[in-house]
Amino acid sequence: MSRELSISELVEVMGEFTRMNIRLPAIQRLSFTTLSVLHTLATVGPQRLSELTASEQVTQPAVTQIVTKLEREGLVERRPDPSDGRAVLVHITADGAAVVRGRQEERMVRLTELADRLTPAERSRIQAALPALTRLVELHRASGEE
């Protein structure tokens, strides 16, 4: 029943974090979805277009366009899938990985400034909750796959 946890408060905070995060990509000249594709490739490795279509929840032609754009900018590469002649494996390049790292660092700088203004007790409580929050995200991903 989730009695120990106020879901409405969690939804509220998650929503605010989303709104806080969503406007940062504008700094780079890449859209949210484009950056999300890049992030996926950086963290889970080379993917087919069809896999990206599923995980990013946009249409397949949209992914084709995003990958084409990223390829023009040298951030990803299309390589044939040796196991399937129809398929394409999208690989992130060194430049692409650098973009992802750069964004992650921007956010860390920003969040560090903010976290420094919390009390030590507040920081500890967030730290203590991180494994559980990570599990929550994993449960979400797992349930979205099948």
By CB under 7 A, name the binding residues for DNA.
Answer: 30-34, 48-51, 53, 58-62, 64-69, 78, 81, 84-88
Residues 6+ apart with CB under 8 A from 87: 48, 49, 50, 80, 81
Q: Is 32 in the site for its own copies (CB under 8 A)?
A: yes
> How far, in Å, CA of 48 to CA of 12, rounded?
35
Report the number of secondary-structure helices (H) and strands (E) in the chain.
6, 3
98 binds its own copies (CB under 8 A): no
Which one of DNA, its own copies, none is in contact with 98 (Cβ closer than 5 to 8 A by kind)?
none
Q: How far is the C-alpha of 21 from the C-alpha of 32, rounded, in Å?
A: 10
108 binds its own copies per the rule CB under 8 A? yes
Residues in touch with its own copies (CB under 8 A) = 1-2, 4-23, 26, 32, 36, 39, 57, 104, 107-108, 111-118, 120, 122-137, 139-140, 143
